[in-house]
């Protein structure tokens, strides 16, 4: 079974990747004892994902570890807020990775706004030991709800009404949520690129 290093320690994200890459062993940064900070200071989703991959790849080379690396960059963009939170999605309220505070700030910013349309962009990069890489992208469109519903434990999910499903995440099944997920769709495109070009054997 091939090994893929996921440039993350986010348990929700790790679960998603393991469910889709069922024919590979997905290892987190903690699994390979990578504890360095990764500075994501670029202005595009692709550049930030590449920074993660290249930083981890340098670490693997130093440790003589041969494995593919996958990183993603996902951000919420709200149209009426000039696409904010954008690259600040994870720290929108300037707390340290505090999802509840981020959602509270977002709801306050939209309090008197009639346009609550938004989208999630996901860019995924996979790098190979020889330095080659492939990437995929997908956008999923939403309307931001006026209050939190459903599971409030992760990200902005409890504020989403899906334009594709015509229902909120509270009403959707797990299968329906996965079918419109920006990350699941981007991963599916990446897997197709692997297979079509023989990279799934690298």
Q: 62 Cβ partners below 8 Å, 6+ apart?
A: none
Catalytic residue among 23, 31, 73, 164: 73
Tens of pLDDT along 116-161? 999 999 999 999 988 899 999 999 999 999 999 877 777 888 899 9
* Average pLDDT for the chain: 88
Tens of pLDDT along 41-84? 667 888 889 999 999 999 999 999 889 999 998 889 999 999 99
Domains assigned to the chain: 2-201 (3.90.950.10)
pLDDT, residue 95, reads 62
Beta-bridge partner residues of 68: 4
- What whole-number distance in Å separates Cα of residue 32 and Cα of residue 34? 6
Known active-site residue 31:
no
């Amino acid at each position: 079974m091939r090994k893929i290093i996921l440039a993350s320690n986010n348990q929700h994200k790790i679960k998603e990747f393991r469910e889709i890459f069922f024919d590979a062993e997905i290892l987190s940064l903690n699994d390979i004892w990578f504890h360095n900070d990764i500075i994501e200071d670029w202005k595009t989703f692709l550049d930030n994902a590449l920074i993660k991959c290249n930083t981890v790849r340098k670490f693997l080379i130093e440790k003589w570890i041969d494995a593919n690396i996958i990183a993603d960059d996902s951000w919420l963009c709200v149209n009426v807020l000039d696409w904010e939170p954008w690259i600040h999605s994870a720290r929108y309220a300037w707390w340290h990775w505090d999802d509840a505070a981020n959602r509270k700030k977002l709801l306050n910013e939209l309090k008197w706004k009639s346009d609550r349309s938004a989208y999630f962009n996901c860019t995924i990069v996979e790098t190979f030991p020889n330095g080659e890489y492939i990437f995929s992208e997908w956008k999923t469109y939403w309307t931001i709800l006026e209050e939190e519903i459903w599971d409030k434990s992760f990200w902005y999910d409890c504020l989403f009404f899906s334009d594709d499903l015509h229902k909120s995440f509270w009403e959707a099944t797990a299968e329906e949520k996965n079918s419109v997920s920006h990350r699941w769709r981007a991963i599916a495109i990446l897997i197709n690129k692997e297979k079509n070009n023989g990279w799934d054997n690298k």
